[in-house]
Amino acid sequence: MSFDLPEAVGKRIYVQGKLHPELRVPMREIELSDSLFPDGSTEKNEPVRVYDCSGPWGDPSVKCTVESGIPRLREAWIAQRGDVARTEGGALKAAAAASPPTQRAYALRGIVTPEMEFVAIRENMGREEAFRAVYDRFPHEKTRPQEAQQLLDELGTGMPRPSELEKEPGFSPQSLQQRADLRYSHPTEYAERTGVQAPAFFTPEFVRDELAAGRALIPANVNHPEAEPMIIGRRFLCKINANIGNSAISSDIHQEVQKLRRAIHWGADTVMDLSTGADIHRTREWILRNSPVPIGTVPIYQALEKCGGKVEMLSWEVLRDTLIEQAEQGVDYVTLHAALLERFVPFTAGRATGIVSRGGSIMAKWMMLHGAENFLYTHWDELCSILASYDVAVSIGDGLRPGSIADANDFPQLAELEVQGELTLSAWQHGVQVMNEGPGHVPLHLIPENMRKQLLWCHEAPFYTLGPLPADIAPGYDHITGAIGGAMIAQRGCAMLCYVTRKEHLGLPDAEDVREAVVTYKLAAHAADLAKGHPAAQLRDNALAKARFEFRWEDQFNLSLDPQRARQYHDLTLPHAGAKKAHFCSMCGPNFCAMKLSQEIREINRAEK
Amino acid sequence: MSFDLPEAVGKRIYVQGKLHPELRVPMREIELSDSLFPDGSTEKNEPVRVYDCSGPWGDPSVKCTVESGIPRLREAWIAQRGDVARTEGGALKAAAAASPPTQRAYALRGIVTPEMEFVAIRENMGREEAFRAVYDRFPHEKTRPQEAQQLLDELGTGMPRPSELEKEPGFSPQSLQQRADLRYSHPTEYAERTGVQAPAFFTPEFVRDELAAGRALIPANVNHPEAEPMIIGRRFLCKINANIGNSAISSDIHQEVQKLRRAIHWGADTVMDLSTGADIHRTREWILRNSPVPIGTVPIYQALEKCGGKVEMLSWEVLRDTLIEQAEQGVDYVTLHAALLERFVPFTAGRATGIVSRGGSIMAKWMMLHGAENFLYTHWDELCSILASYDVAVSIGDGLRPGSIADANDFPQLAELEVQGELTLSAWQHGVQVMNEGPGHVPLHLIPENMRKQLLWCHEAPFYTLGPLPADIAPGYDHITGAIGGAMIAQRGCAMLCYVTRKEHLGLPDAEDVREAVVTYKLAAHAADLAKGHPAAQLRDNALAKARFEFRWEDQFNLSLDPQRARQYHDLTLPHAGAKKAHFCSMCGPNFCAMKLSQEIREINRAEK
């Protein structure tokens, strides 16, 4: 079977832990070539370290096969804590009388687990050194304004008029660079005002405190030791999720594992297995044993398969047994549409597009047929006890999310959101890690309200949205629609974006659709990280911009989110190897290249001094 | 030569003028099929009228060839005004002693020209009837809150908690639909607060007043009578520009005309011809005679070609003669980098990416070599006199726009912006129509400041931006990067977005790149129009959402921005004609289709009543 995954750029390296010296935290390091100046002098460019989701699959020195699965990274950490025991079926589960083995429970007890240190190092991307080196190149970014200036206020005027600045005695390019206060709208200003600020460097203790406050989660089922710890929270890097899964129409198991590998190669931070066809259990087993990223599911799908697709046959018992089955297999987080209450359903009748969530529509139909309250809601405490026993995190679903611009931010959507908040609090009391799912189709001007209300009503639990899509008229391009809305909500604190592929609303995505969608969402999340002032986000942009300005084409390709595509597009018109050293591209040609002219201006400038 | 343009969906129709009954304003009308309900009843769906940029090329009843050019729509209107005369070369130009023949000058004198009525009808999209019909379907959108609620304030809480609403006596789905105040954040609220609001319907007088205030322009050279009038201003639909043009490396004339037709087919509102190679004059002639949309250029490119590519040989005289040559050919707007002053250039030396504008770097190099001020600035009044004689609009360039995240909103960028404002005022005094060009590479949190400062410093002249691109790390995907930033700035009032293709930074775009970029920017502009509360924007979304919910697949395809792609993606997994009537797609399969389940819930609901 052909498998078209390109070779990863750069090499996978590992950074050792300090509190837990056995930790080997993976990153990808991209080597850069030297800068070459017209006078023949050169300058070394430090390698850039980037976040890496590819796991052992991205490390040629680790030999693994789909059949054997990947190494069980967390097995010893879990065993050492001594709070889990084997069930009859061989799975791990909280030992009797033990406090729940969840990262939340450890954090509340003040414990810094290996998982917490792992994500702290991972979020820093081990970039302290390179970070300082780059900031030395751009000194105006080094310091922060002393006083918060409310320059992001829509009515503010910000920086003084340049013509006023020019009147100052001694004003020059040199004096300007020293005036830190001109960096009046440094990301941290914005971040502080919107509550998305991160510390200059992440520490294991900071991670622990965010977990304890419920502002972040580390999805890490004790039965999925293959997963490399990662954190979801608005003060960390924005994460993205990719959905895979076969439907009755298409796809097979081998394809699903390949989709997983493809998704993590391009940068998916978590993967949801939304399979609904035959072989759900077996597909999931293959995926879990081969996945270095947390796996999420929507258990009601499998429960419905067990009922032969008949919604009326669903019951609390079937769902409960399915949930336990999945928890024992190693699923890291589950979507449960528990906040969709019976009394909200009639409010969807007047909507333009009714209910568009699969899980939501299943639960709504069950409630209509039985005239009964949502069994996920009525059994919430029991559900949470099960989840806590395995450290399965819950993603409280938004079954009534709007499916069109016309339905955005309406009563049923917001009524469910309020109940998500109520359920968040009680799940936390069980020690369960929580996030909340969000929309959906929302026009741009209503997106900020979604984020504000979620933070307020759901007690700052991480928000995880599908899009939002700020228009309905672009089927075939909805990865872009969702990236526009996603960047905007992530900038305001949404912690994870679920990708939407260009096949959304139309069909099942193929390999190229997955690549396109993952890279697009990685881009949206990164744009948000820049705006949030994540301490290491801009490093890669700066390195790429410098490579671009210096016509280091290979470096520019290698630093990009999709090196193969960048190279391919360049080579379509200038395929010769020599063009990789050319000081122009086919876009403007040699005589009209602004970068080239701008370098010439620098030289004239230098000669005059 | 193969020309892969697909057939346009829907038919081109014409709406007659009232003040000027000879006007035939083009639109595209998309017929919809009937809704079919489970009980066998049907409901008629009104056709949807959409904005159409394709010109006579999009009307099969008009026979035109590239060699003959398209009909000269505005010829009689221009002649009837009696204020232009033929030059020796045969071009039209302001007659001696006449007031300048510009749409701005007419507006200031209180005249409503055919061009003004044309754009008023065009912006309404003749949708009054359909608009009312759709609002009847969604009654909660019909009325506006009586009191402005400051619910878009970042700190506001907006809608009361749903649980509080539920305590009201008689609260029900029916009572909710009647409570207009629950549409607490209707687009008009947002629009009023941000100054982007439009009237419920556009009138010719409203258009005139916006032109007179300088808040809008209708690029319409008297020598380009083929162009269908269109308006650029923040209280109208957001427009998009597509760049075409050959460079020394690639492309030929036939390809350029095809690119033009392709760009307008997909929805480009204006096209800039940025050719720099040989045959600049002849290429432009073919483009102008075949273009129903305004054509923009950057005259310094041709001036430099005349100087054999030697920047030092450039002069005011060469530029002036080139400008006159282009004005007499019919160019509708020109980019002039007149606000880039000599004293700003040294401030670019410390930048990460120097100067990235082609025109800007040419002017900067000229100033460095000559030690002289920008001749476009020193000859501004003379330039404006020339522009006014032909009604060529000026797009004041931003030669110092940032080329990387690191350089965003820095001193040179903002210093040039301030001078753009100064030049705007003096151009207006000459009767010239003006817009200002904007960045560039800007992170999300700094985008609002760009828009605010431009409005404030440039006296509300329309803003026309390239992107902005809120990240540097996605070469190969920069159409998406730019769409993210573009939607955000357009939402705040940017009047026109210049597209960026996925080949940006890498090479010259091909046919598929143009299609992908135009549709992507159309999407970004539309998302902004929704947020701005443009009176007709949501109509198409609502019609598409209804078609989607009712599984009217063909209608869903036809209403989308790229019908061919939507159909192609759907058919990849379900190619049979029968699937076009199926109540599911391959994404979820028949048993898990939320839309299908949701319709079943409606039926259960209906049966119970």
Residues of chain B positioned with their CB less than 8 A from the CB of A311: 597
Contact of B154 with B559, CB cutoff 8 Å: no
A570–B506: do the CB atoms touch at under 8 Å? yes
Residues of chain A positioned with their CB less than 8 A from the CB of B449: 151-152, 158-159, 185
B491–A444: do the CB atoms touch at under 8 Å? yes
B484–A524: do the CB atoms touch at under 8 Å? yes
CB contacts < 8 A, A to B, total 505
Taking residues A552-557, report their average pLDDT: 96
Q: How far apart are CA B420 and CA B439, in angstroms?
A: 13
Q: How far apart are CA B263 and CA B268, in angstroms?
A: 5
B415–A541: do the CB atoms touch at under 8 Å? no
State pLDDT tens for residues B528-539. Answer: 999 988 878 888
Residues of chain A positioned with their CB less than 8 A from the CB of B476: 560-562, 565-566, 568-569
Q: Say yes or no to pLDDT of B577 above 90.
A: no
Contact of A427 with A434, CB cutoff 8 Å: yes
Measured between CA atoms, how close is A79 to chain B, in angstroms? Answer: 39
B353–A595: do the CB atoms touch at under 8 Å? yes
A443–B601: do the CB atoms touch at under 8 Å? no
Measured between CA atoms, how close is B398 to chain A, in angstroms? Answer: 13
Measured between CA atoms, how close is B95 to chain A, in angstroms? Answer: 37
Q: How far apart are CA B508 and CA B502, in angstroms?
A: 10
State pLDDT tens for residues B152-184. Answer: 333 333 567 788 878 888 888 777 765 544 444
Q: Say yes or no to pLDDT of A181 above 70.
A: no
DSSP B561-600: S-HHHHHHHHHHH--SGGGGG-S--TTT-GGG-HHHHHHH
Of A159, A541, A569, nearest to B476 by CB-CB distance is A569
Of A162, A405, A452, nearest to B538 by CB-CB distance is A405
Q: Say yes or no to pLDDT of A451 above 50.
A: yes
> Which residues on adjacent β-strands are paired with residue A395?
A335, A435
B561–A190: do the CB atoms touch at under 8 Å? no
Q: How far apart are CA B352 and CA B329, in angstroms?
A: 39
Tell me what percent of the residues of chain A surpass a pLDDT of 70.
Answer: 89
Taking residues B296-304, report their average pLDDT: 96
Give backbone dihedrals phi and psi of B112, rounded to 5 degrees, phi first.
-100, 105
Residue B420 confidence class, pLDDT cut points 50, 70, 90? very high
Pick the residue with more confidence: A531 or A232?
A232
Task: Mention every residue, 6+ apart, whose C-beta is less than 8 A from residue B427.
Answer: B380, B384, B387, B394, B396, B434
Q: Say yes or no to pLDDT of B296 above 90.
A: yes
B353–A549: do the CB atoms touch at under 8 Å? yes
B356–A527: do the CB atoms touch at under 8 Å? no
Measured between CA atoms, how close is B89 to chain A, in angstroms? Answer: 31
> Which residues on adjacent β-strands are paired with residue A86?
A92
A346–B445: do the CB atoms touch at under 8 Å? no
Instruction: Write down the pLDDT at residue A580.
Output: 77
Taking residues B428-448, report their average pLDDT: 95
| Token pair recorded at residue B462 | 């329309």
Measured between CA atoms, how close is A36 to chain B, in angstroms? Answer: 15
In Å, how far are A478, B519, B570 from B556, measured between CA atoms? 14, 16, 11
DSSP-derived 3-state class of residue A24? strand
Q: Considering only alpha carbons, which residue of chain A is nearest residue B406?
A: A542
Residues of chain A positioned with their CB less than 8 A from the CB of B346: 172-173, 605
Measured between CA atoms, how close is A558 to chain B, in angstroms? Answer: 10
Measured between CA atoms, how close is B252 to chain A, in angstroms? Answer: 14
Measured between CA atoms, how close is A145 to chain B, in angstroms? Answer: 15
Of B162, B348, B503, nearest to A411 by CB-CB distance is B162
> Mutation test of the interface with chain B: which of A255, A480, A540, choosing the one with the most B Cβ atoms within 10 A?
A480
Q: How far apart are CA A500 and CA A488, in angstroms?
A: 15
**The total number of residues written for chain A in this structure:** 609
A541–B404: do the CB atoms touch at under 8 Å? yes
Instruction: Write down the pLDDT at residue B559.
Output: 97
Q: Say yes or no to pLDDT of A346 above 50.
A: yes
Region of B476 (left: φ > 0; alpha: ψ -120 to 50; beta: rest) is: left
Which of A280-294, B175-189, B241-255 shows the lowest mean pLDDT across its residues? B175-189
Instruction: Write down the pLDDT at residue A206.
Output: 93
Question: Residue B381 corresponds to which amino acid?
Answer: D
A354–B156: do the CB atoms touch at under 8 Å? no
Of B345, B480, B507, nearest to A569 by CB-CB distance is B507
Q: What is the mean pLDDT of chain A?
A: 88
Taking residues B546-570, report their average pLDDT: 95
Which of A202-216, B38-52, B120-134 shows the lowest mean pLDDT across its residues? B120-134
Contact of B281 with B297, CB cutoff 8 Å: no
Task: Mention every residue, 6+ apart, whose C-beta is less than 8 A from residue A586.
Answer: A573, A574, B247, B249, B250, B507, B508
Measured between CA atoms, how close is B234 to chain A, in angstroms? Answer: 16
DSSP B146-181: SS---TTSTT---SPPHHHHTTSTT--HHHHHH-GG
> Mutation test of the interface with chain B: which of A522, A587, A603, choosing the one with the most B Cβ atoms within 10 A?
A587
B545–A159: do the CB atoms touch at under 8 Å? no
A595–B409: do the CB atoms touch at under 8 Å? no
Q: How far apart are CA A119 and CA A239, in angstroms?
A: 13
Instruction: Write down the pLDDT at residue A19.
Output: 95
Q: Considering only alpha carbons, which residue of chain A is nearest residue B455?
A: A157
Maximum CA pair distance of chain A? Answer: 85
| Token pair recorded at residue A232 | 């979801």
State pLDDT tens for residues A47-66. Answer: 999 999 999 999 999 988 88
Measured between CA atoms, how close is B151 to chain A, in angstroms? Answer: 8
Taking residues A210-236, report their average pLDDT: 97
Residues of chain A positioned with their CB less than 8 A from the CB of B362: 592, 597
In Å, how far are A4, A229, A255, A502 from A258, measured between CA atoms? 9, 22, 5, 19
State pLDDT tens for residues A289-313. Answer: 999 999 999 999 999 999 999 999 9
Instruction: Write down the pLDDT at residue A501.
Output: 96
Q: Say yes or no to pLDDT of A446 above 70.
A: yes
Q: Which helix (H) or strand (E) holds B43?
A: strand B42-43
Q: How far apart are CA A526 and CA A236, in angstroms?
A: 11
pTM for this predicted structure: 0.93
Residue A190 confidence class, pLDDT cut points 50, 70, 90? low
Instruction: Write down the pLDDT at residue B568.
Output: 94
Taking residues A74-98, report their average pLDDT: 94
B185–A409: do the CB atoms touch at under 8 Å? yes
Which of A436-450, B91-105, B174-188, B299-313 shows the lowest mean pLDDT across its residues? B174-188
Of A443, A485, A491, nearest to B445 by CB-CB distance is A491
Q: To the nearest 5 percent, what fractions of chain A are helix, strand and coil?
A: 45, 10, 45
In Å, how far are A136, A209, A421 from A424, measured between CA atoms? 44, 18, 5
Instruction: Write down the pLDDT at residue A598.
Output: 81
Q: Considering only alpha carbons, which residue of chain B is nearest residue A594?
A: B358
Nearest to B384 by CA among B370, B394, B374, B375: B394
Taking residues A110-127, report their average pLDDT: 91
Taking residues B362-391, report their average pLDDT: 97
Radius of gyration over every alpha carbon of chain A, rounded to an integer in angstroms: 25
B542–A406: do the CB atoms touch at under 8 Å? yes
Taking residues A438-464, report their average pLDDT: 93
Measured between CA atoms, how close is A397 to chain B, in angstroms? Answer: 14
Q: Considering only alpha carbons, which residue of chain B is nearest residue A362?
A: B597
State pLDDT tens for residues B311-354. Answer: 999 999 999 999 999 999 999 999 999 999 999 999 898 889 99
Instruction: Write down the pLDDT at residue B594.
Output: 80
Q: Considering only alpha carbons, which residue of chain B is nearest residue A597?
A: B361
Contact of A263 with A244, CB cutoff 8 Å: yes
Instruction: Write down the pLDDT at residue A94.
Output: 97
Nearest to B231 by CA among B106, B130, B103: B103
3-state SS, one letter per residue, for B108-122: HCCCCCHHHHHHHHH
A364–B597: do the CB atoms touch at under 8 Å? yes
Nearest to A231 by CA among A376, A143, A361, A117: A117
Q: How far apart are CA A336 and CA B399, in angstroms?
A: 53
Q: What is the mean pLDDT of chain B?
A: 88
Taking residues A370-376, report their average pLDDT: 97
State pLDDT tens for residues B459-496. Answer: 999 999 999 999 999 999 999 999 999 999 999 999 99
Q: How far apart are CA B186 and CA B174, in angstroms?
A: 20
B568–A476: do the CB atoms touch at under 8 Å? yes
Taking residues A19-46, report their average pLDDT: 93
Tell me what percent of the residues of chain A surpass a pLDDT of 90.
Answer: 68
Instruction: Write down the pLDDT at residue B188.
Output: 57
E-assigned strands of B257-353?
270-273, 295-297, 333-336
